[in-house]
Amino acid sequence: MQVFSLSLAMFPTRVFTIILLALASPLLAGEVAVDPGDNGADILEDTTEDADSRSSEVAAAVENLLDPDITTEPVIPLADAVNAAAGLAEPIAVLGTEVMPGTARRLSWSATELFEGVPVSTPVLVVNGALPGPTLCLTAAVHGDELNGIEMVRRVMHDLAPSKVSGAIIGIPIVNVQGFRRGSRYLPDRRDLNRYFPGNPNGSAAARIAYSFFTNVVAQCDALIDLHTGSFERANLPQIRADLRNPDVVTLTQGFGSMVILHSTPAIGTLRYAATRAGIPAVTLEAGGPSQLELNEVKLGVKGIETLVNTLGMIKQRRLWGEPEPVYYRSSWVRADNGGILLADVSLGSTVRKGDLLGTITDPMNNARTELRSPYSGRIIGMARNQVVMPGFAAFHVGIQTAEAPVDDSGDAAAVGKTSDSDDYVDGMSE
């Protein structure tokens, strides 16, 4: 049974000014002061975190402290947005183009600052429904080598009949077009675009691209789904990653049907972090691994997104994921203690018990073999492909099911997945 009725997620009107202003809140100042390596201390977070990127992202965040004022805007419940929308649908202005109700447009966005000095544009697909309602955004390939999300956006957007949509859906299949062209996760300067949101018009190239995207596109959204895959030869069971301490975000997670939902505190600079901070509830949808198009993962992701669109009431009479009940998880990574050849004994989605064999690592030089065993009973929600690994490599991501969405993880009660401080980060993983 769906439970939107009891969660009153809020979202603001589309006033961009509040985005920068919200970012300038004292909360952010507090976060900046915290060692980024210590965020989400109780739940493992996947980030690319070397010293340089940390300091630069913190600097980027600080640069955005432009104005200490906070503007409060009237808010309406997200779940009731369609019902609350009265009268006729209105045109929406995206990238300087008015998109009329009941129509679909293909627009293009170009970051203003590019490395080559030549504008590179990327499509922005807009479906403005014939009926009034909120605006949902789908972003993919913020990491240029993550292909599954590109196909998900294509399928969802081209399935939509504008005459039957309440509200608008904006899909950006390839945000990091420069990385995509090179088959790379990163921008050409090796920066991770997903550490620079909401960006800065006077910052680094990455910060400027992020700023342009955030102000021109993301600012239009009332809710956002950022599509990712695992990274560096790791794959993820299709799952929603969300900061379940935020009630608005929890509401959003409840719309995806039976999808796995993992509590995950977003790293500073991620699109998810910046959007949520700006009052736009955002989640990450992870599915599969990089550099491949995986049809099963794509289909599951599309099913989750279409269930959400239905649950929000933006489309009616679309197929629902039967008996949709979100499945909440906390998680822990199991790491290699030895270097060598990693071979898995489980697969994505496997259910494991404490002590079960997850995989083996064999030293190719001396033939010594070590076993990786699960410290928890749970489910394999992410794992490395078979490969040569170094000691410390995060190999298996074990999800530990919880009865419901944790509403507060500030205490020890939520620290199920915590094994040690060093486990809080997995190098370059995913979003």
The residues of the shown chain that bind Zn ion, judged by CB under 5 A, are 143, 146, 228, 431
**Min. distance of Cβ 422 from Zn ion in angstroms?**
22
Decide: 281 and 78 in contact? Cβ < 8 Å: yes
Helix (H, G, I), strand (E, B) or coil at 40: coil
Alpha-carbon distances of 216 from 108, 119, 154, 219, rounded to whole Å: 11, 15, 21, 6
Decide: 416 and 41 in contact? Cβ < 8 Å: no
Q: What interhelical angle do 295-311 and 148-158 show, nearest 10?
A: 40
Closest CA to 254 of 237, 242, 236: 242
Q: Which is nearer to Zn ion, 151 or 356 (CB)?
A: 151
**Min. distance of Cβ 139 from Zn ion in angstroms?**
11
Decide: 107 and 94 in contact? Cβ < 8 Å: yes
Task: Give exposure, 81-98, as e/b (b: 16+ Cβ within 10 Å).
Answer: bbeebeeebeebebbeee
**Min. distance of Cβ 270 from Zn ion in angstroms?**
9
Q: Which is nearer to Zn ion, 49 or 146 (CB)?
A: 146
Q: Which is nearer to Zn ion, 193 or 315 (CB)?
A: 193
Q: Which two tokens stand for residue 1?
A: 């049974």
**Min. distance of Cβ 276 from Zn ion in angstroms?**
17
Q: Which is nearer to Zn ion, 9 or 175 (CB)?
A: 175
**Min. distance of Cβ 430 from Zn ion in angstroms?**
5
Helix (H, G, I), strand (E, B) or coil at 68: coil
**Min. distance of Cβ 143 from Zn ion in angstroms?**
4
Helices (H), 121-175: 148-158
**Within 10 Å of residue 255's Cβ, how many Cβ atoms?**
27
Q: Which is nearer to Zn ion, 254 or 430 (CB)?
A: 430
Q: Which is nearer to Zn ion, 143 or 335 (CB)?
A: 143
Amino acid, res. 298: V
Q: Which is nearer to Zn ion, 18 or 260 (CB)?
A: 260
Q: Which two tokens stand for residue 138?
A: 């789908």
**Min. distance of Cβ 431 from Zn ion in angstroms?**
5
